[in-house]
Structure formats: C-alpha cells, structure tokens
Amino acid sequence: MSMTLPPKTPSGGRDPAAISGWAQHPDRVGFFTDTSICIGCKACEVACKEWNEVPDDGLNWLGQSYDHTGELGADTWRHVQFIEQRKRPGTADEGLDAPLIEHVPLAQLGREEGFRWLMSSDVCKHCTSAACLDVCPTGALFRTEFGTVVVQADICNGCGYCVPACPFGVIDQRRGDGRVWKCTLCYDRLKGGFEPACAQACPTNSIQFGPLDELKVRANRRVRQLHEQGFTDARLYGADPDDGVGGLGAFFLLMDEPEVYRLPPDPVVPTRDLPAMWGAAAKAATALAVATVAAFMAGRR
C-alpha cells in the first residue's frame, strides 16, 4: 500500500510536522538569515549561549579574522563567519567576488581598496528531510509541531550515528559527555509564544524568524531589491523545496557562492536512497532463498 503524503505548502514544500504525525500543529516556522546586513556583532552567539546555557567553547584564537569559534559544534550552536574578500585584479566586476587568498595584516584591511567583509550567522538548518532523524536508533531526535528538529539529551545514548549523517556537519558530540547537541530553534521559547533568543538579540534584523512561507516571500523580495541595486551575486540558499534535503527550515541570503561560506553547493540527505537499498536487498535475499531451495530440491532428485 502506498503512503499518501500531506499536501504541499504554499511555497511548494512538504509539511514535515504532518509527515511526522502531528495531526494538529501550527504553521512551520524557521529562520531567514540575510547575510547582506549582518555586522558580525556576535549578539546571536551570546544570546544563544545565555538562554540555552551552552558551555563556553574556549574562545580559541584561530587566526581567522575575528572568528574565535571556527565552526558549529556541541558548544557552538550559532557561529558567525567572517570572510575577507577583495576585488580580483584586472576585472571590472564590482561585486568583489574573489576570496582573499593572500594574508594581509588586519591593520591594513580597512585601507584596502576593493575590500569587503562577508559575514554570516550559521546555525542548524532544521532540514525538511533530516538524515539525523532517519538514523537515530533511540528516538532522541524528534520533529516538533513547529517542523523543527530537536535533540532530547536525556534520551541520547551517544552512539554518534547522526554526526556523519548531517550533510552540513552541524550536529556534534560534546567532549566528556558523548551526547549530541545542536540548535533547538529555542523550542522552549516557541512553546511559550516567544521568538528564538538569537533573532530577538539581532540588532540589524539579519536573523529573521517567522512562518517559513512568509519568510520565503520576504527573502525573494529582498533578492530582487539587491539585484536592482547592482548586487547580482545575491542568491537564496536552502529555500528550494526540490533540493537534496527538501528545503531548509533555516535558509540564507548569500552574497556569493555557497562554497565561500563553507556550505555544500548541492546538499543531499545521505539516507535518501535507503528505501531503494532495502528493497534491492529484499529482492536479492528472496532470489537467494529461491536459488537455495531449487538447488536443494535438485540435489534430492
């Protein structure tokens, strides 16, 4: 018997809460991060740690501009990237779309002609098709009524299966603990009718929270505005419901290629082929059983 999928949402995507069994649920919510107005203040990082009591991540001075956290992890649920760029010599492109490869002393960066910062606050993507959910053997990971993905720390047994399953490298095990931790999109605040702490703290409205379909309309309008202003590299990342993860619950407006922001250009859920693989395995097992029985019967004759 074939499974009947819930109808598509206005933006063309599937309703993950309904697929997960929530018969009655609010509209799916998420994040739209407009990197074009991020100022790198790190207010989101601080607010996330304060509200969720995320441990100190060590303030490691990595020698990467003002980035002292490096990447998302068990103790870094929000990570602000600082990407240094300058105009490619000999080109007329004013989009400044070339990564800064050679090292320049920070004291000189402000005086470099054709230089810009690209800043982006990264977070768990709360995928429509979440591989971490697919592989979790204990049910520690679950889909909320808001369409987000949450880890229940009291159920997680630290097996780590979800870590390599995430196509974005978001979910991580905490040292000395073994359990996995990541952004919950402030599930406790959502249940109380409040927006997530990071969005509440963002002074430029770079991190926008709300119903996902409304955010996509707003994001497309913003991209058109930037294109009209000459920023033709502006694009949305993770808003397409037909991509390899079914669209993201936390999507981004980028000012350059996804790889510049250390994002996979074509993310794919690694478990998407599991049904076909199990089906092929079942057919192979059936064929083997038939062949074994046939061989046994032939031997008896």
Q: Is residue 10 part of a domain?
A: no
- What is the DSSP code string of 153-197? TTT-----THHHH-TTS--EEPTTT--EE-----HHHHHTT---H
Residue 34 and residue 179 in one domain: yes
pLDDT at 223 over 80: yes
Q: Could you report the per-residue pLDDT of 230-289, keeping only the tens digit for each?
A: 999 999 999 999 888 999 999 999 999 999 999 999 998 887 555 554 454 556 566 676
Residue 254 and residue 293 in one domain: no
Residue 75 and residue 87 in one domain: yes
Residue 250 and residue 160 in one domain: yes
Residue 33 and residue 170 in one domain: yes
- DSSP helix/strand/coil, 297: helix
Q: Is residue 8 part of a domain?
A: no
pLDDT above 70 covers what percent of the chain?
A: 74
Indicate left, alpha or beta for 21 from its phi (over 0: left) and psi (-120 to 50: alpha): left
What CATH number did the domain enclosing 43 receive?
3.30.70.20
Q: Could you report the per-residue pLDDT of 91-147, keeping only the tens digit for each?
A: 334 444 444 433 333 333 444 556 788 999 999 999 999 999 999 999 999 999 999
Overall domain count for the chain: 2
pTM of the model: 0.78
Q: Residues 135-163: what's their mean pLDDT?
A: 95
Residue 57 and residue 183 in one domain: yes
């927006």: which residue's tokens? 195
Q: What is the pLDDT of residue 70?
A: 84
Distances (CA, A) of 99 to 94, 116, 259: 14, 10, 10
Indicate the residue type of 74: A
Residue 287 and residue 207 in one domain: no
**Domain around 214:** 16-270
